[in-house]
Amino acid sequence: MSHSRDAETVAQDLARQLIHPHLGFVLFFCSAEYDLEALGYALEQYFGGVTLVGCTTAGEITPQGYGRNCVSAIGFDHQHFSVASVLIEDMERFSLIDAQQLVEGLINDCRSSSLAPIKDHSFALTLFDGLSSREEVVLAALGAAFGRIPHFGGSAGDDNYLTHTYVYHGGRFHSDAAVVVLINTWLDFEVFSTHHIEPREDKLVVTQADSNERRVYELNAEPAAKAYADLVGVPVEALDHALFASHPLAVRINDRYYVRSIQKVNDDLSLTFYCAVETGIVLTAMRPGPLLPNLEALFEGLNDRLGEPLLTIGCDCFLRRLEGDTEGFADTISAFLRDHRVIGFNTYGEQCNGLHLNQTFTGVAIGRPGRSVRR
């Protein structure tokens, strides 16, 4: 990691910590406060010949726990990992055929290393421009194309400004784009997703929405912001990210709840969401449960199945971190992530096996050499 604000010093710091004879790939997460053009150039200069993929964040998860205004990175040893990546730029027109061709190309690239069979030994990572509003379209196609290959990911952030978010591929940062990475390894791993949100009795029906813009105009036939504020018990003017984090809404599919987090209140009292919303869906009011016990249970299970992970790559919704800041337990969660070797970032949305999620902790735990996972 690097806390430097100077792009070249960041690249020097990361190169000094990561470069070794077997380095094959670097994944990084950086604050949007950097001069991104300068950072992209410096990284390419100092890691010449090594593929780099990354994105901007709403906060970093570093070897020291939660970070701000810094860069956190992971180096992959090509003796253990075969990695292929590709950039998606035209997300608006991305189709199932495009996804199938993309996944086939990634598989062929990984297979050329003859490291491990693709089946049962590969997982995929996606990074999206977090303000593109195209996650669902692309994920639906990718989910079908990946088949049994497990997949996770996160949407890039910009330190909660909600103005510009970027993914990094091919030596520069891109907006309105996504990066897909396939990682093949002989090490054991497990892709996971968890949340600590519990249902209440209250319901809100979306009575008018623009699904393309993820914008809800009416809830229960009232202006959306007013109906939500009444549910929370505050005036509309009091609505902010902290309240959105502590009073989430979710759609129920079968017996599972999937959070649809609110991004902002608009001038016309409509609400913009981070996830897909459509006219006619029923949103259940939710409340956060205990966050730390949820993480403890997750890692207890991972340790049982994998042994103590070598590393966990985590995509942690920024609203979870905001809840920790507001309620005063962020330092406890930060220490937990540090002690369990989690590296990653705070996201504007998470992805798991074709689904776009909110207010979750999603990622992959990678086992240590010598362990055999019970499949």
**324-327 long-range CB contacts below 8 Å, 24 or more apart?**
324/291, 326/242, 326/245, 326/246
| Confidence (pLDDT) at 259 | 93
Q: What is the pLDDT of residue 374?
A: 42
Q: Are 73 and 26 a contacting pair, CB within 8 Å?
A: yes
pLDDT of residue 371: 60
- pLDDT, residue 373, reads 47
Q: Looking at the DSSP assignment, which residues form a beta bridge with residue 194?
A: 361
Is 141 strand, coil or helix?
Answer: helix
Task: For residues 312 and 289, give the distance between their C-alpha atoms in angstroms, rounded to a whole number.
Answer: 23
Q: Which two tokens stand for residue 334?
A: 């930060």
Residue 171 and residue 182: Cα distance in Å, rounded? 18
What's at 42, amino acid-wise?
A
Q: What does the radius of gyration of the chain's CA atoms come to, in whole angstroms?
A: 20
* Residues forming beta bridges with residue 363, ordered by sequence position: 192, 314
H helix or E strand, kind and range, residue 101: helix 96-111
Residue 358's pLDDT is 93
- 24 is written with which tokens? 């094959």
Mean pLDDT per 10-residue section of the chain, whose length is 375 residues: 97 97 97 97 94 98 97 97 96 94 98 94 96 89 96 95 94 96 97 95 96 94 98 96 94 90 96 93 95 97 95 97 94 98 97 93 94 48
Q: Phi then psi for 41, rounded to 5 degrees?
A: -65, -45
Residue 114 gets which letter from DSSP?
A: T
